[in-house]
Structure 1
Amino acid sequence: MLPMRKIAHRACFIVSRTVYMTCCCGCCSALRPRYKRLVDNIFPAIPQDGLVKSNMEKLTFYSLSSPEKLDRIGEYLFQKASRDIYRRRHGFVIIAMEAMDQLLVACHSQTLNLFVESFLKMVQKLLESTDPQLQILATQSFVRFANIEEDTPSYHRRYDFFVSKFSAMCHSNHIDKLTRDNIRLAGIQGLQGVIRKTVSDDLVENIWEAQHMDKIVPSLLYNMQTAEKYDTVLCMEGGAGEEEPARLAEACLRELVGRASFGHIRSVLRPVLTHFDRHELWIPNDFAVHTFKIIMFSIQAQYSYSVVEALMQHLDAGGNNTGDARDNTRVRAARATVLSNIVAIAAGDSVGPSVLEIINNLLTNLRASVARDSEKETDEKLYQEALINALGEFADHLPDFQKIDIMMFIINKVPSSQRCNKGTKADAMLQSILLKSLLKVGTTYRTTELSKAFPAAFLEALLRVAAAAEARSRTLLQRILHTLLDRRANAPRLLRAT
């Protein structure tokens, strides 16, 4: 047994040490920077109580009165959230993100750049977690940031990670459908936020570069494919149904195309065409027609010709290199059908040389198809019919004087009867195909005066075809003449008589 004096001495030592440590801790706490104490005070004892609003107001007031402390406040919040993510204390992470959001909204535009770096680090940290709730929360915060208009330029920001991560979220294959849809919706919303934040600021990273478009566009198309039905009219009305990934993806694609300038249209179209080729989405072509109609209705009217031009150049690229020739021809036919569905939309805004350029491209593809068809028996008829339908659809939306110009242009491309009589099978087939094209355009023309319908040069060129050896060509010529002469819809009676 220790003497009573020693016991009393040891007890006094323990008490004095405890008092000393308490005083030291209190002193250290008082010596901590004020911004850290204010940040610490916004967190409750248990996360279920939520953000301490009164203390958050104090932190916000301090941030506004001392903007030079914003970057330190943001960095400290980021450090606390990082520790809580590691310890899986997600309740406190959510509170830290909420505080970040409130500070972001409260910041004046002049001081926003001081805070954004820490804010984006926090968003990135949450997106890197495997918890869907934190990923969705981070995306919502990023979207709020994207909607803030900044007056000061931002030279140093990069959005590579966000484009990659949001694109990956668009392809989520989570086992639970509701969670999967929510993650995909968040991914699309994130991409929409990146687009809004970058397209209007030339000083930040160029979102139109291939490395970004190759991720954004396929992600949107992947979600658009999941729609139960493709309703272009309902899609263009917008608003309703955007809580579904497919509808929100359509809205995002509309916004992306609508914001594209003339120099950036090809940056969007190239990954679209690549996606359809790579995933063999041309057949059946319902989705392709729907997608390209969305693009045509969303694009600035003066640029609509660029879409038609890109699709026609893709016709020249041929079908899929894999598979047999018949499959390739069917792919070309499906592409031509898509073209015939959208070319009329561009017709109203096409003027001068662009009209004849479209016609010339279509005739060039027809000529190439006839050459393939004459060499060996292939399934080219579908492709030729689709091109002729595209020609007719385009001409139908042009004024009558341009239709006459188009018919003059086509008749001058028709091989002469002498050449066809002495030439190859390909010449005779080409003559027949071009006369079919001429007839297709003629059916869209409304004759009012015969002198306008039959200029001298046009009539002479038509009559020269009458000497063709092929009965099919002569029959087509008769139908063209009947169509252009008919002003009272009597041509069907002549067809029945024969």
Structure 2
Amino acid sequence: DLAYCHDIIAPKQPSTPTNFKFAEPNDGLVKNNMDKLTYYAMSNSEKLDRIGAYLEQKLGRDLQRRRIGNVFISMDALDQLLVACHSHSLNLFVESFLKMVQKLLESDDPDLQVLATQSFVKFANIEEDNPSYHRRYDFFVSKFSAMCHCGKDNENIKTKIRNAGLRGLQGVVRKTVSDDLQVNIWESIHMDKMVPSLLFNMHNPNFMSVDLESPKDEEHPVYLSEVVFRDLVCRASYGNIKSVLKPALIHYDNHKLWVPSDFVVKCFKIIMYSVQ
């Protein structure tokens, strides 16, 4: 379990609780102890990097030893700290956080990949006081795009991973597109992976909705990819829309989608409507 975190991070702080466990493997996070750790982190923001480094090492060991329950606990703790601690020191903590998310995404376990994506999406929705302009998202664009093409035989697992990939791509866009000083997500190196991944999931001739009002359909990659595609186009400025159009046209050519033209026409309608 995640034990004695304060004792390791802040042994010289007599006013803080030491030698306590903020997690129990069978019960998840212990709320009272997690609250203490959160309060300590918020009161001593300069320690966030050491907290992150410790949790990163702990998660790495638990992954190697296949202590999956502890991995979930670690990410839960990280998510709560990330949301609670809006400070100038958050950048140092985020670096450890993103390394842990990357480790989980590199795992072969679908549940860990989904867990990592959920944490990344939570991070993407946080407005940082001082965002890091040297931070790169190349790995996440590549990995989430690859997840969108998951071809596992198990239909449920395939759908779960594809949906995670789609949500991950949406998270990358939300995190980067609103700030001109962030990584330029509209560069072809990113769009050439993202746009085909979205169109690949949008175009599924075999998908037949049983009930158009069914909430289950909203969780299908066909629907989710269209939502993400609309979101992407809506966020594109007039000068950036060509970054979406070029890989889209190449995708239509490569997959011979011009005839019949129903899908291509649908995509152009989405683009035209979204850029109005």
Determine if the TM-score, normalized by the shorter chain, exceeds 0.5.
Answer: yes
Stretch moving more, 196-205 or 33-42: 33-42
> Which letter does structure 2 place at the counterpart of 1:254?
R
The equivalent position to 2:54 in structure 1, one of 55, 76, 79, is: 76
Q: Shift in Å at residue 244 of structure 1?
A: 1.1
Q: 1:230 to 1:49 in 2, by over 3 A?
A: closer
* Residue correspondence of structure 1 range 83-94 to structure 2 within 5 A: 83-94=61-72
Regions of 4+ moved over 4 Å: 29-33, 35-40, 227-231
Consecutive unaligned residues in structure 1, runs of 5 or more = 1-28, 302-498
Whether the 8 Å CA contact 1:217–1:272 is kept in 2: the answer is: yes
Alignment of 1:358-437 (within 5 A): none
Distance in structure 1 (CA, Å) of the matches to 2:100 and 2:9: 21
For structure 2, the residue ranges without an aligned partner over 5 or more in a row are none
Between the aligned partners of 1:225 and 1:38, the Cα distance in structure 2 is 55
2:82 & 2:119 partners in 1: Cα distance? 10
Aligned residue number for residue 271 of structure 2: 295
Determine which structure has more spread, i.e. the larger CA radius of gyration: 1
- For residues 230 and 296 of structure 1, the distance between their equivalents in structure 2, rounded to whole angstroms, comes to 26
- CA deviation vs aligned residue, 1:62-85 (integer Å, no higher than 9, x gap): 101111000100110010000110
The residue that corresponds to 1:278 in the other structure is 254
Q: Taking structure 1 as the reference length, what is the TM-score of the superposition? A: 0.50
Which residue identity lines up with residue 155 of structure 1 in the other structure?
Answer: Y
Work out the CA distance in 2 between the residues paired with 1:136 and 1:130.
11
Q: Which residue number corresponds to residue 107 of structure 2?
A: 129
CA contact (8 A) 1:43 1:51 kept: yes
Out of 2, 22, 26, the position equivalent to 1:42 is 22
SS of the counterpart of 2:257? coil
Partner of 2:81: 103
User: TM-score of the superposition, structure 2-length normalised?
Assistant: 0.89
What are the Cα deviations for residues 278-320 of structure 1, in whole angstroms up to 9, with x where unaligned?
1111111111111111111111x2xxxxxxxxxxxxxxxxxxx
> Are 2:44 and 1:66 aligned?
yes
**For 2:159 and 2:226, how far apart are their aligned partners in 1?**
15
8 A Cα contact 2:196 2:248, kept in partner: yes
2:173–2:185 Cα contact (<8 Å) kept: yes
Answer whether contact 1:153 1:203 (CA < 8 A) is retained: no
Deviation at 1:243, TM superposition (A): 1.1
Secondary structure class of the residue paired with 1:48: coil
Q: Secondary structure at the match of 1:289?
A: helix
Which string of whole-angstrom CA distances, capped at 9 and with x for unpartnered residues, describes residues 12-64 of structure 1?
xxxxxxxxxxxxxxxxx9974437986972232xx222112221111111101
1:203 equivalent among 139, 164, 181: 181
- In the alignment, residue 289 of structure 1 is paired with which amino acid? V
Question: Helix, strand or coil for the counterpart of 1:68?
Answer: helix
Query: Structure 1's 182 and 39: CA in aligned 2 closer, same or farther, altered over 3 A?
Result: farther
2: distance between equivalents of 1:274 and 1:35? 58
Q: 1:82 to 1:250 in 2, by over 3 A?
A: same
The SS at the match of 1:290 is helix
Write the letter of the residue equivalent to 1:124. Answer: Q
Tell me if structure 1 keeps the 8 A contact 2:6–2:37. no
For CA contacts below 8 A with separation 6 or more, give which structure has more relative contact order.
2
Cα distance in 2 between the residues matched to 1:284 and 1:30:
63
Alignment of 1:203-352 (within 5 A): 203-226=181-204, 228=206, 241-299=217-275, 301=276
Count of aligned pairs: 265
Aligned 8 A contact 1:35 1:69 in 2: no
Structure 1 residue 100: Cα displacement: 0.1
Where 1:164 maps in the other structure, the secondary structure is: helix
Question: 1:271, 1:38 → 2: CA distance?
Answer: 55
Q: CA deviation at 1:113?
A: 1.6
Give secondary structure in 2 for the equivalent of 1:261: coil
Same amino acid, percent of matched pairs = 62
One of 81, 87, 90 as aligned partner of 1:112: 90
Determine the C-alpha separation between the residues in 2 that align with 1:292 and 1:135: 32
Distance 2:23 2:254 in 1: 51
3-state SS, counterpart of residue 83 of structure 1: helix
Q: 2:11, 2:33 → 1: CA distance?
A: 12
Equivalent residue letter for 1:115 = F
Q: Distance in 2 between matches of 1:64 and 1:297?
A: 44
Letter in 2 for 1:75: A
Using the alignment, how far apart are the partners of 1:109 and 1:241 within structure 2? 40
1:310-367 CA distances to partner (integer Å, 9 max, x unpaired)?
A: xxxxxxxxxxxxxxxxxxxxxxxxxxxxxxxxxxxxxxxxxxxxxxxxxxxxxxxxxx
Greater share of helix residues, 1 or 2?
Answer: 1
Closer/same/farther in 2, CA of residues 119 and 30 from structure 1, 3 Å limit: closer
**Per-residue CA shift, 1:356-411, capped at 9, x if unaligned?**
xxxxxxxxxxxxxxxxxxxxxxxxxxxxxxxxxxxxxxxxxxxxxxxxxxxxxxxx
Indicate if the aligned counterparts of 2:49 and 2:89 stay in contact, CA closer than 8 A: no
Amino acid in structure 2 at the alignment position of 1:166:
F
2:260 & 2:247 partners in 1: Cα distance?
19
CA contact (8 A) 1:123 1:141 kept: yes
Aligned equivalents of 1:32, 1:184: Cα separation in 2: 39
Match of 1:153 among 117, 127, 131: 131
